[in-house]
Structure 1
Amino acid sequence: MSGQAGGNETRQRTALEEFEQSDKGRPPFILTYAEVKLLGIAGVGFFLDAYDLFIINPVSSMLQDRLYPQGNMPANLQGLLKASANIGSVIGQFLFGYCADALGRKAVYGKELMLIILATILCISTPTGTLSPNGSLIYLTMFRILLGVGVGGDYPMSASVTSDRAAIRKRGTMLAYIFANQGWGSFMGALMTIIVLACYKHVMNDEGETSKVDGVWRIIVGVSLIPAFGTLYQRLTLPESTRYQKAHEAELTEQSDLETKKMGVEAGVHTPEPESSTDNEPSVSAPNKGHFLEVIKYFSEWRHLKILIGTCSCWFLLDIAFYGINLNTNVVLTAIGYGGSTGTPWERLFNVATGNIIITALGFVPGYYVTVLTIEKLGRKNIQLMGFLMEALFLGILAGKFHTLSNAAFIVNFTLLQFFFNFGANATTYCYPAEVFPTRYRAFAHGMSAACGKTGAIISALVFNTLTNKIGIPSVLWIFVGCSILGAAFTFLLPEVAGRDPDAILEQEQRERSSL
């Protein structure tokens, strides 16, 4: 019987789970074919997330030239347009995070990508020729919110799908690889803007038909549909992981036992323990109707709640500073001669896109891959603490010497700041919730943490831009310094998760509870 059981277990393992038994002698950042395939499925989604979130900055500049050639885009509509995807993300992170735990990863995965595809098509169909300028912005904002729901859903989905399948010793590396796609998404957004603008140079710059920029922004937004369609089938057909199946079955069994005992107590009779039988085992496809109460019960314990407070607070504080500083990249672009403040509309747009790709290449991408190489050695907690403190240092230098730094010094400080955002809290706040919580609560906790982060991003989009006009950029940078220091303080609520198996810890807690 044991041989037959072993054979069944072997047959149940999918190709994407083979790496759970991979050679332990390899460095964590050396990937197997199965791991590369998994990263292709989950990583493309996060590439699209970053592409879709950050592409709105050049698009808003193009809409200014298309819709308001003789005036300025209304500040309130511009702020709402830039914040729209993040507003939708908060909804998507809560919704998809909870559903992924309650209904299963397989039942939900791919639906967020379908939503992204639909919303992208609706965005590029904005009828700028028939609607008023303000009406066009409102139309685009509505479907950017819908896009954000899909983008937000990808955070807990990709993190949970990856963490469920990763060997514990390289789980952090796998998640860091996924998150590194944010850098490539931002980089490709700037690159596509340069390429498409170059194709339109003759008609826009030489012939003076600035309205043709309407085609430029539709193309650069629509290009994201190619990798989205290329990944959709793989996501929809991805099998459920063994780790989630076991966690789901255990949770349903516990609930069934409790209900059986409760019925016996109410009837005044002794109810025997259910016999172990494969015929009586709950189906993994069965939805867990009592999952919400299980979530409340789990996080009602302080030892679990304080970790959730830690992951939510750190992500919230990080995104206030991260998105806040990236809303002010125009200051840096001006310093390096790519501010887009002079020249024809085409020249301004091209200069801004060139400046964006320089900043991304210098700071964004290298920081992600240093995290990939070191996360298992240094640990998540050390990287996050170091990242927050280094952010505070470089933000403090920029704030204190804002008007006296030379252009070269300014660029060096800004590049180092971006580097330590990504070799720091911007990466670890994504990894932590996917590693520290048990499988049965992982997607919900990750979605809730990410939603708190996006709330910080929304505050930056809607508030800090106005604040810079009232109190000045250096004062706003000092606020970011405070957020970074607070983030370092909240990191102490979190345990180190390298080598930690949260499912084993949950089982131990349940055994201790049942023995009382």
Structure 2
Amino acid sequence: MGKDQLQVLNALDSAKTQWYHFTAVIIAGMGFFTDAYDLFCISLVTKLLGRIYYHHEGALKPGILPPGVSAAVNGVALCGTLAGQLFFGWLGDKLGRKKVYGMTLMLMVICSVASGLSMGKDPKAVITTLCFFRFWLGFGIGGDYPLSATIMSEYANKKTRGDFIAAVFAMQGFGILAGGLFAIVVSTSFNARFKAPAYRDDADASTPPQADYVWRIILMVGALPAGLTYYSRMKMPETARFTALVAKDAKQAADDMAKVLQQEIEAEEHKVERIAEDEATAYGLFSKEFLRRHGTHLLGTTTTWFLLDIAFYSQNLFQKDIFSAIGWIPQAETMNATEEVFRIARAQTLIALCSTVPGYWFTVALIDKIGRFSIQLMGFFFMTVFMFALAIPYDHWTHKENRIGFVVMYSLTFFFANFGPNATTFVVPAEIFPARVRSTCHGISSASGKLGAMVGAFGFLYLAQNKDKSKADAGYPAGIGVKNSLIVLGFVNLLGLLFTFLVPESKGKSLEEMSGENEEDEAAASNGNRTTVTIA
């Protein structure tokens, strides 16, 4: 810690864990709960969309979404998320974290509802409308990534900062779990009330009109958690690091944190004035000095997040295809539409409950004990091992008696993704860059992740296409396609392990130590005269 550090920042770094820390986790975390629900619930209903809008009279098999339509429905929100991460990350450094936070939340609420209300005269119009609103839903979700991470990192103390940032991200696991549980409830309710036969020779018989309500209700409910936290987000004060180091308002920063921490804090306006005078020489994002100090760090955070999300999102969005390929989910023609939603939701909920959620909270418990670097390296290593263990003897796992073993090992890849790089790639970019570009750099890092998610979503769809045209037309995934996909994902995880060595360890260090802002302040310390103002 630099000797010339602002007292308000020292107070935050050394503060004992208090109720406001948990409040911040809940408020920021509910955004991630909503993000995960909205992004991943679409995978629960894509097959239902195919049954409703892409069947034809007298069809022998349930309707399925054409590959291009399926790619658009699954991937368009990821495109919006990437754009939102870049835009709102940049805006968060310009206008402040708090102001932009409210914008993203309202966009998520409006577009969640609008997605469920997608209308049109024909199937193409309905799907087009759905994709339009899911793009803007993703745009709002994208802003939540850099803002939530930055706000939590700037509020937390340095001893448990990793725990709290990881806890915010861990709410993603509960969002995935909630999506599956709610889909189970809705599909069960509709199946009991409007009992339809298994698919035979009439698409309408196994897909009653009421099934159209199922996917709409599932998508619209995503607006509730976001809407419920809007007021709380608007009541949070701006972070002291933005107010003091970027907005240069020492009095406001000290006043805000004095109320939060319930202690006396000096405003130290002379130090902030000195920082403001030195701002002309401070390096920007596209400067040689930033490249020298943080270029390797930014390369490390972007590449590891990119590689991680190729694997993580392809696994999440296409679990239903993998489980169908090994026979864990029955073929579509043996079920009616709402039962198929139930079976898919049950499988994904079981994975979330047994591996995804525990993985997140193992990270929360251990990230400030064993460090970010060790957890990320370990996670990529075991993801690589389990992917190859599933892919190389793939034919062995497709036998009925071996399906449980496949599901267990597949679950372990999710566990080590979340007790590993899926959490740490979110935490580290919020800790290692200067305050003036912290949100922007996190946005760039997370946007590279969403680029990886798009590669995963579209790439898996291509690799898993059935080479047998008669089966492909009937909607069967290909065993050889899934095997190829798993092998590719294994090599992707191995690359992630190697690029992890570019990322620094930030455990136990203040944000200013990691970003080098202490060095800048101390170098300019001799230029200022010292006066103090005390805030009661």
1:434 corresponds to which letter in structure 2?
Answer: A
**Residue identity in the other structure for 1:497:** S
Deviation at 1:514, TM superposition (A): 6.4
Tell me, in whole angstroms, the C-alpha distance in 2 between the residues paired with 1:291 and 1:354.
57
Counterpart of 1:193 in structure 2: which amino acid? A
Select which of 428, 435, 438 maps to 1:442. 438
Q: 1:466 to 1:290 in 2, by over 3 A?
A: farther
Q: For 1:242, which of 233, 240, 243 is the aligned residue?
A: 240
Q: Which residue of 1 aligns with 2:186?
A: 196
Residue identity in the other structure for 2:213: G
Match of 1:352 among 322, 344, 354: 344
User: Is 1:90–2:82 an aligned residue pair?
Assistant: yes
CA distance in 2, matches of 1:481, 1:233: 43
Match of 1:399 in 2: 391
Query: In 1, are the aligned partners of 2:67 and 2:461 still within 8 Å (CA)?
Result: no
* 1:56 equivalent in alignment to 2:72: no
Aligned partners of 1:482, 1:74: CA distance in 2, in Å?
29
Matched length = 467
Q: Which residue of 386, 390, 411 maps to 2:382? A: 390
Pair 102,165 (structure 1): closer, same or farther in 2 beyond 3 Å: same
- Measured after TM superposition, the shift of residue 378 of structure 1 is 0.9
Cα distance 1:248–1:124, how it changes in 2: closer, same or farther (>3 A)?
A: same
Of stretches 382-391 and 52-61 in structure 1, the one that deviates more from structure 2 is 52-61
Residue in 2 aligned with 1:312? 302
Structure 2 partner of 1:4: none
Paired residues of 1:96 and 1:153 also in contact (CA < 8 A): yes
**1:479 alignment counterpart:** 488
CA contact (8 A) 2:358 2:415 kept: yes
- How far 1:21 moved relative to its partner? 5.0
Q: Which AA in structure 2 matches 1:113?
A: L
Could you say if the C-alpha distance between residues 62 and 281 of structure 1 is closer, same or farther in structure 2, counting changes exceeding 3 Å? same
Partners of 1:169 and 1:343 lie apart in 2 by 53
- Structure 2 counterpart of 1:133, from 123, 126, 134: 123
Instruction: Tell me the distance in 2 between the aligned counterparts of 1:132 and 1:510.
Output: 61
Structure 1 gaps of 5+ residues are 1-8, 24-30, 253-275
Moved more, 61-70 or 350-359: 61-70
Amino acid at match of 1:315: W
Partner of 2:534: none
Match of 2:27 in 1: 41
Q: Deviations over 1:38-62 (max 9, x none)?
A: 1111000000000000011122222
The one of 337, 344, 365 equivalent to 1:373 is 365
**2:102 is the counterpart of 1:116:** no
Question: Aligned-pair distance for 1:221?
Answer: 1.4
Q: Does 1:414 align with 2:410?
A: yes
User: Given that residues 162 and 507 in structure 2 are in contact (C-alpha distance below 8 angstroms), is that contact kept between their aligned partners in structure 1?
Assistant: yes
Q: For residues 67-466 of structure 1, what are the structure 2 equivalents within 5 Å?
A: 67-70=53-56, 71-127=63-119, 130-206=120-196, 210-249=208-247, 294-297=284-287, 300-334=290-324, 335=326, 337-339=328-330, 341=332, 342-405=334-397, 406-466=402-462
Judged with a 3 Å threshold, the aligned counterparts in structure 2 of structure 1 residues 221 and 299 are, in CA distance, closer, same or farther, namely farther
Q: Which amino acid aligns with 2:520?
A: Q
Deviations 1:289-308 (Å, cap 9, x if unpaired)?
99997222276433311000
Query: In structure 1, what is the Cα distance between the partners aligned to 2:288 and 2:228?
Result: 38
- Name the CA distance, whole Å, in 2 between partners of 1:133 and 1:291: 57
| Matches of 1:331 and 1:123, distance apart in 2 | 24
Please list every run of at least 4 consecutive aligned residues from structure 1 whose deviation after the TM superposition is greater than 6 angstroms: 279-282, 289-293, 512-515
Please say which of residues 505-514 and 381-390 is displaced more in the overlay. 505-514
Residue identity matched to 1:370: F
- From the superposition, tell whether residues 18 and 126 of structure 1 become closer, same or farther in structure 2 (CA, over 3 Å): farther
SS in 1 for 2:457: helix
1:503 aligned partner, one-letter code: E
Q: Aligned letter for 2:422?
A: N
Q: Is the 8 A contact 2:105 2:140 kept in 1?
A: yes
Q: Is the 8 A contact 1:249 1:281 kept in 2?
A: no
How much has 1:436 moved relative to structure 2? 1.6
Which shows bigger deviation, 409-418 or 321-330?
321-330
Distance change >3 Å, CA 339–CA 322, structure 1 → 2: farther
Counterpart-to-counterpart distance in 2, 1:453 and 1:195: 32
Distance 1:214-1:291 versus aligned 2 partners, 3 A rule: farther
2:473 equivalent in structure 1: none
Question: Which residue identity is paired with 2:177?
Answer: F
User: Is 2:113–2:219's contact at 8 Å kept on the other side of the alignment?
Assistant: no
Deviation at 1:353, TM superposition (A): 1.2
Measure how far apart 1:449 and its partner are.
Answer: 0.3
Cα distance in 2, alignment partners of residues 441 and 499 from structure 1: 21
Instruction: Tell me the TM-score normalised to structure 2 length.
Output: 0.81
Partners of 2:116 and 2:282 in 1: CA distance: 38
Give the letter aligned to residue 229 of structure 1: G
Instruction: Give the Cα–Cα distance (whole angstroms) in 2 for the partners of residues 299 and 188 of structure 1.
Output: 45
Question: CA, structure 1 residues 250+493, in 2 after alignment: closer, same or farther (shift >3 Å)?
Answer: farther
Q: 8 Å contact 1:19–1:34 — kept in the other structure? A: no
Task: Give the letter for the 2:83 counterpart.
Answer: I
**Post-superposition offset of 1:438:** 2.4
Q: What displacement does 1:464 show?
A: 2.3
Mapped contact 1:332–1:411 kept (Cα < 8 A): no
Cα RMSD for the two superposed structures: 3.0
Identity across the alignment (%): 35
Give the residue type in structure 2 aligned to 1:389.
F
Contact 2:184/2:345 (8 A) holds in 1: yes
The one-letter code matched in structure 2 to 1:88 is: G
Contact 1:58 1:349 in 2 (8 A): yes
Which residue is 2:253 aligned to?
Answer: none
